[in-house]
Structure 1
Amino acid sequence: MVSASVRSIILSVTNTVPSAETALQQPMTRVNRMRMNISFDLFSFIMMTTLGWFVLIISFLGFLQVRRWEWNIQRSTMVDMPEDLQALETLDHTIGMRA
């Protein structure tokens, strides 16, 4: 059972909160417009900050991925390089020309 004091509190709270219909029927007051502008500004700030950090982090991760590809390509060409140098040295020795 709900006590009388709890019931009176529930009724007082539900009576003070306007319904959606009454909120739409009431004209916009200066205070309501200011609150709405502040809430839109806050929402915009949060969205721009979140989106900005997301773009920054994604860009940085993409940069690191490209750098990793570059390092792998450089490492793979460095492994093949001694064989190429040895072939060039034998060619130079055979032809007799030095660079």
Structure 2
Amino acid sequence: DLCAALDGRDKRLLQWISDRQISALIADNYAVEHYDGSKPPGPCATLPLHQHCLFKLGVPLGEIWYLHELAQALKAQKRSRFLLTAPPLRLPGAVGSPATPIATL
């Protein structure tokens, strides 16, 4: 199955993320960043969006989030911004964790 995902090799996208100073990048699908399994040309991270967000900017990524109700509430209030609180579980040595997200409008 295919899902919408971002192309981490798109330099304009990476610049847009930097310019917007976002605090988190979340998606309601299995992958924030598209990865086709091929080796990137030249000296480049395999997942450049992950490299840019996680390591360069400190922006956490979230996948498989249920966003339907949040999208409806934002649309009803004619808003596009909200406060996200999403503490991860404390799992020493882990590289990822389920979150317990709360959106405050």
TM-score in terms of structure 2 length = 0.15
Structure with bigger helix share is 1
Q: Which has the higher contact order (CA 8 A, sep 6+)?
A: 2
TM-score in terms of structure 1 length = 0.16
Structure with bigger strand share is 2
Larger radius of gyration: 1
